[in-house]
Each structure stands twice: as structure tokens, then as C-alpha cells.
Amino acid sequence: NIKLNRAIVLLKTTNFTVQEVIFRCGFNNRSYFYREFFKLYNMTPKEYKDKHNIKENEHKTNSTDIDSANSHLL
């Protein structure tokens, strides 16, 4: 589903709320969006967003830690 694929991209790459993602992707029925999303991903959109953001934040933290650790080498 093109709309659900777009929703995944927005959930991963923006700070939009789930409500805003639903609106921006053109879903008219919130319940339908949640039901279809859960069927495909076995989690709610919020759970998906939170899970992705944790991984993203860990990556940013690790990159910052590495940069800080290497700064003394310059």
C-alpha cells in the first residue's frame, strides 16, 4: 500500500505525530490506518516510531561518543 509505505517513511524520518502522519498520507479513517498498520507491522504506529527513534538516538549518541573520543587525537 503506497499510503502505508509513505507513513513508514514519515514515521522514521520526521518528528510528525502519528495523527499528522495519518493526515499527510491521506487516510480519512484513523481506525482503518491503525488496523492496517498493525496487520503489516504487528505493532502500532506509535510503537514503530518509538522503536525507530530509539535506534536513531543510539546511533547519534554512539557517533557523538566516537567523535568525542577521537577529538584528542587531532
Q: Which fold has domain 2-71?
A: Arc Repressor Mutant, subunit A (1.10.10)
Q: What is the pLDDT along the chain (74 residues), one digit of tens a residue?
A: 899 999 999 999 999 999 999 999 999 999 999 999 999 999 999 999 999 876 555 545 444 454 555 454 44
pTM value > 0.75: no
Residues 6+ apart with CB under 8 A from 46: 18
Domain boundaries along the sequence of the chain: 2-71
Burial profile 20-50: b = 16 or more Cβ within 10 angstroms, e = fewer: ebbeebebeeeeebbebbeeeeeeebeebbe
Residues 6+ apart with CB under 8 A from 27: 3, 7, 33
